[in-house]
Amino acid sequence: MTDAASVNLRADEATAFAAGLLQSSGVPEEDAGIAASALVRADLRGIDTHGIVRLPGYLNRLDKGLVTAAPQLTFERIAPSVARLDGQDGLGFVIASRAIDEAVAMAQDAGIALVGVRNSTHFGMAATYLLKAVEAGCLAMVFTNASRALPPWGGTEELFGTSPFAAAAPNEGGLPFILDMAPTVVARGKIRKAAREGRAIPDTWALDGEGRPTTDPEAALKGTLLPIGGPKGAGLSMLMDILCGVLTGARFAGDVGDQYKNFDRPQGVGHFILVMKPDLFISTDDFTARMADLVSTVKANPKADGVEEIFMPGEPEARVEAARRAEGIPYRTVDLEPLADIARDRGVALPGALSA
Ligand SMILES: NC(=O)c1ccc[n+]([C@@H]2O[C@H](COP(=O)([O-])OP(=O)(O)OC[C@H]3O[C@@H](n4cnc5c(N)ncnc54)[C@H](O)[C@@H]3O)[C@@H](O)[C@H]2O)c1
């Protein structure tokens, strides 16, 4: 699907373009590749709100020295299966990628492993890191805290983040379970996207600055987001702040910097990354058989009116990814223009479809 308003890029073209831009802000080649792949994986999976359109924001913070371009990441083993990582304010994508790799390696020895990260930054789509764990045959929970977006339940002032709850389990021979969800009705990126596209939003997503439900995305961005399930979503968001902030030594209680508003200091994000091998309590073969049993039982559930198929969490995104890997990723030209302008200024190679 290519028309005047959109352009299709192959994943490898988009990744090379994003990596080139990151390198132009001083990010070393390998790290730029990791961050670019994470951004493009979000685009591949239809999580366009967390893809390369966000690059101008990351480049801006790199150029201002608020994100460290080349952190020297060293894990500190504080117990046989627990490690601490100081992200040195580097790119969250690189920090979380290294952290999940380390956690998977530790879990291969100990069965279970926990990595606590402080001094990180926005890591984008949490599923990026879950996928790495399931590809290694492990279960995982990958949490992050985030800047202020919603009040505690009953409050009016934004305090907690849209910190996603993200958990995964492998399912050999089938699609893995990948649950990756903000504790708010939607991630703030969806409201920013509606604002960019001049679309109204449902009045169940956010309150305006006066605490009233709104359909205006601009008004919503000045107000607060609504949690899923009232106090339950607000409670989940607080749990993310406890595990990722209070526990790890990262910023917490509303102190995580907003990457688009706070330019006086690094963000101070924290991550909590837990990995488990499937043979903790039973054999791997038993786990595989029991997962297959669970998935087929789920799929065989009687369908509600209008539902053609029951999906596993993560399945809608996996289907989009398969289609986009085959057909390319459709980007709105208007969203790529700011990136193309930066690339032209810096002499970064543009994908063929943009250089014409
Ligand atoms: N890094 C950050 O600070 C941050 C903050 C907020 C959100 N995010 C990211 O934003 C992204 C979007 O979050 P979201 O809450 O809007 O996600 P979403 O509402 O699009 O999806 C949430 C979950 O529901 C599942 N799902 C959707 N439809 C389904 C169906 N029909 N059957 C079964 N499962 C289904 C999805 O697979 C997904 O696991 C996530 O990747 C998240 O990590 C990141």
Say yes or no: 148 and 6 in one domain: no
Distance 84 CA to ligand 1 centre (A): 27
Say yes or no: 289 and 332 in one domain: no
Residue 41, domain extent: 1-64+315-356
Q: Is 313 in the pocket of ligand 1 (CB under 6 A)?
A: yes
Return the structure tokens found at 97: 């990628």
Say yes or no: 13 and 158 in one domain: no
Return the structure tokens found at 10: 């192959």
Tally of structural domains, the chain: 2
Contact 95, 87 (CB under 8 A): yes
Q: Is 228 in the pocket of ligand 1 (CB under 6 A)?
A: no
Q: Is 321 in the pocket of ligand 1 (CB under 6 A)?
A: no
Say yes or no: 235 and 354 in one domain: no
Q: What is the pLDDT of residues 82-128, one digit of tens each?
A: 999 999 999 999 999 999 999 999 999 999 999 999 999 999 999 99
Domain-embedded: residue 17: yes
Rounded-to-integer distance, Cα 110 and Cα 105, Å: 9
* Confidence (pLDDT) at 269: 98
Say yes or no: 107 and 27 in one domain: no
Distance 163 CA to ligand 1 centre (A): 11
CA 126 to chain centre: 4
Return the structure tokens found at 135: 């590809």
Provide mean pLDDT across the span 292-308: 97
- Residue 4's pLDDT band, with cuts at 50, 70 and 90, is low
Contact 339, 17 (CB under 8 A): yes
Say yes or no: 42 and 96 in one domain: no
Domain-embedded: residue 200: no
Atom of ligand 1 nearest to the CA of 186: 16
Active-site annotation holds for 50 = no
* Confidence (pLDDT) at 125: 98
Q: Write down the pTM of the prediction.
A: 0.96
* Confidence (pLDDT) at 250: 98
Say yes or no: 93 and 153 in one domain: yes
The per-residue pLDDT of the chain, averaged, comes to 96
* Confidence (pLDDT) at 188: 85
Q: Is 162 in the pocket of ligand 1 (CB under 6 A)?
A: yes
Name the residue of 128, 130, 141, 181 to mutate for ligand 1: max ligand atoms within 8 A of Cβ.
181
Q: Give me the CATH number covering residue 340.
A: 1.10.1530.10
Say yes or no: 177 and 324 in one domain: no
Q: Is 314 in the pocket of ligand 1 (CB under 6 A)?
A: yes
Domain-embedded: residue 198: no
Distance 264 CA to ligand 1 centre (A): 30
- Which residue has the CA at smallest separation from atom 9 of ligand 1? 125
- Residue 306's pLDDT band, with cuts at 50, 70 and 90, is very high
Say yes or no: 143 and 258 in one domain: yes
Q: Is 144 in the pocket of ligand 1 (CB under 6 A)?
A: yes
Q: What is the pLDDT of residues 30-58, one digit of tens each?
A: 999 999 999 999 999 999 999 999 999 99
Return the structure tokens found at 90: 């580097």
Of the residues 41, 118, 122, 324, only one is catalytic, namely 122
Provide mean pLDDT across the span 226-230: 96
Contact 151, 162 (CB under 8 A): no
* Confidence (pLDDT) at 355: 83
Domain-embedded: residue 42: yes
